[in-house]
Amino acid sequence: MRTALVIGDFARATHLSVKTLRHYHRVGLLEPAEVDPHSGYRYYRLDQIPTAQVIKRFRELDMPLDRIAAVLATPDPAARNRLIAEHLDRLESELARTRDAVRSLRDLLAGTAAPIQVGHRSVPATPAAVVRDEVTPETALSWLRGALGELSATLLAQGLTAAGPAGGLFPDVIFTEQRGEATVFLPCDGPVQPLGRVRPDVVPAAELATTLHLGAHHDVDRAYGALAEHVTRHALAVDGPLREYYLVGPHETAEESAWRTEIGWPIFRAR
């Protein structure tokens, strides 16, 4: 009992604030070794200091409290390391995103970005293999990567050939509501058999205002902005999903700077 620490002592020992320690108790992340049932005083043991330090490190890495709890509750070191590695991966991709955002911000502010060319194009109805799923803007990119991979693999397995570049359909609600049902498709020269998430379907014909976006996908909003401006200025707006064609995409190369994406915005039929 002489080695029990009241909350203030434990705060000094761990550099976690008293408020934080109470919060961790409330949510069950770090329970005091003993709580006086009368006074409510929390008592911590010395051997809880290392646990508190580990929690503190995870928080410095912005790991959510429930994930920290999950890590601490995982006794198997391999499974535990997997959870940690996952988080470090997430951190790293966030870091990459930050780097991209810095570069993109510099471009925007410097006004050095190339002006965006808008053209018009008619696409016919096209038989294709498709994957359809509920996505959010954050999950969209990795979902796209996986779905494109699955489509290519399925066509290959069924002896079919791609009859054009892969593409995607994104209904408005994805942008206004931050989630909705997106479609990726890969046109093919014969009917695909349903397998996994892959289904046969026909991508509808469309009249599109288009622009070509070069490089990584994270700053396509400039292309979208340019199309929106064009379509509005010329009073061409019409309902329908936004469309992307992956001329060079994640299924061809991991080198994002080499990607070429055609963005299409639905418009009135030109003639």
Kindly list the residues in this chain that would bind DNA in the complex (CB under 7 A): 6-9, 17-20, 22-24, 27, 36, 38-42, 59, 64-66, 172-173, 176-179, 239
Question: In whole angstroms, how close is the CB of 178 to DNA at the nearest point?
Answer: 5
Residue (57 or 258) nearer to DNA, CB: 57
Burial class (CB in 10 A: 0-12, 13-18, 19+), 261: buried
CA distance 14 to 209: 59
CA distance 251 to 134: 21
Question: In whole angstroms, how close is the CB of 8 to a second copy at the nearest point?
Answer: 5
Phi, psi (5° rounding) for residue 112? -90, -10
237 touches a second copy (CB under 8 A): yes
Total site size for a second copy, rule CB under 8 A: 56
Question: In whole angstroms, how close is the CB of 221 to DNA at the nearest point?
Answer: 14
| Contact assessment for residue 24 and residue 60, using Cβ atoms and an 8 Å cutoff | no
From 155, 162, 141, 154, select the one nearest 250 (Cα to Cα): 141
What is the contact mask toward a second copy in residues 115 to 144, using x (rule: CB under 8 A)?
----------------------x-------
CA distance 77 to 84: 10
Q: Taking the alpha carbons of 230, 234, 240, 246 in that order, is the dihedral positive or negative?
A: negative
Question: In whole angstroms, how close is the CB of 20 to DNA at the nearest point?
Answer: 4
Footprint of a second copy (CB under 8 A): 2-3, 5, 7-9, 11-15, 17-19, 46, 49-50, 52-54, 56-58, 60-61, 84, 88, 91, 95, 97-98, 101-102, 104-105, 108-109, 137, 172, 175-178, 220-222, 224-225, 227-229, 232-233, 235, 237, 242
